[in-house]
């Protein structure tokens, strides 16, 4: 499916389920990895993850489109468009959109960071594994309150 087809599809879903036309740009964004789609507040553009279409088909992507259109139409009208807003939740349930998208198979989502650092207590030898580098001078051992040393793994 190309961006032109997606544009027409979103325009049709907007008319069918919301009764209001979608008048902005819609396109696929293959760089999206952990989300099914997103609505851009400033440009009013909707971006859809093409990997969701490949993995789960049109029905699941239509639910994602409805979700993003809820953001769009509520934001355009100056209503509560955020996930926590009751208006958003009510409209999403009314049109049958999905609250969350399904995780992508084959590891196309976010990959966990490996442990790259180890903090070692200089007094008791307790080890703490860390994914991100931290300043050991700012912390103490949780067991004996000794000083910590940083090592690369």
Pick out the residues of the known binding site for Zn(2+).
67, 71
d(CA 38, CA 47): 5
**Binding-site residues, please?**
67, 71
Check 11, 68, 87, 127 and give the catalytic one: 68
Question: In whole angstroms, what is the distance from residue 64 CA to residue 72 CA?
Answer: 12
Torsion of CA 123, 126, 132, 137, to 10 degrees: -20
Cross-strand bridge partners of residue 97:
none
Tell me how many degrees the CA angle 27-2-30 measures, rounded to the nearest 5: 55
Q: Is 5 in the active site? A: no
**Residues involved in catalysis:** 68
């Amino acid at each position: 499916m190309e961006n032109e087809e997606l544009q027409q599809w979103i325009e049709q879903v907007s008319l069918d389920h919301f009764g209001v036309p979608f008048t902005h740009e819609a396109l696929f964004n293959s760089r999206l990895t952990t989300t099914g789609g997103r609505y851009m507040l400033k440009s009013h553009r909707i971006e859809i993850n093409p990997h969701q279409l490949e993995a789960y088909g049109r029905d699941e992507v239509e639910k994602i489109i409805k979700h993003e259109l809820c953001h769009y139409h509520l934001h355009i009208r100056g209503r509560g468009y955020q996930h926590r807003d009751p208006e958003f939740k009510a409209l999403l349930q009314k049109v049958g959109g999905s609250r969350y998208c399904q995780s992508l198979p084959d590891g196309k989502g976010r990959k966990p960071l490996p442990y790259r650092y180890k903090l070692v207590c200089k007094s008791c030898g307790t080890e703490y594994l860390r994914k991100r580098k931290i300043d050991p001078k700012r912390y103490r051992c949780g067991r004996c309150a000794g000083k910590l040393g940083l090592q690369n793994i």
